[in-house]
Amino acid sequence: MARARSRGVAAGEEGTASVELIAVLPFLLLALLVAAQIALAGHALWSASVAARAGPRAALVVRDATAAARRALPPSLRDGTKVEEGDGVAVRVPVPALLPRLPEVLVGARSRLEADGG
């Protein structure tokens, strides 16, 4: 008597792994999109903090702090950026959205330096 099933698959269960993969695939793609959006938000926050530190450094050497903060940002993040001078320099950067229907989210940072007189 020969064995009909040599792989140990129970009768009627052929292809269930494929069906389960297709069922899980949308959730995997959603998780990938969420992770990528979080990475973009982190990049925007990091860039805002770099720009916020560049502004006060430029102001200490009698340069335009707002222009220096904008130049410190990557070109893809400069549109929509808000730079405010006052008590230091505050930079708010819009987070790029992977999906067009996501609301605009701004992340920001503030920094100031004081001359030490020396």
Element (H, E) at 82: strand 82-86
Domain range summary for the chain, segments of one domain joined by +: 24-111
Across the chain, mean pLDDT equals 87
Residue type at position 71: R
Cβ proximity of 48 and 92 under 8 Å: yes
Token pair, residue 106, equals 């701004």
Q: Write out pLDDT tens, residues 58-95.
A: 988 878 999 999 999 999 999 999 999 988 899 999 99
The confidence score (pLDDT) of residue 100 equals 86
Q: How confident is the model at residue 15 (pLDDT cuts 50, 70, 90)?
A: confident
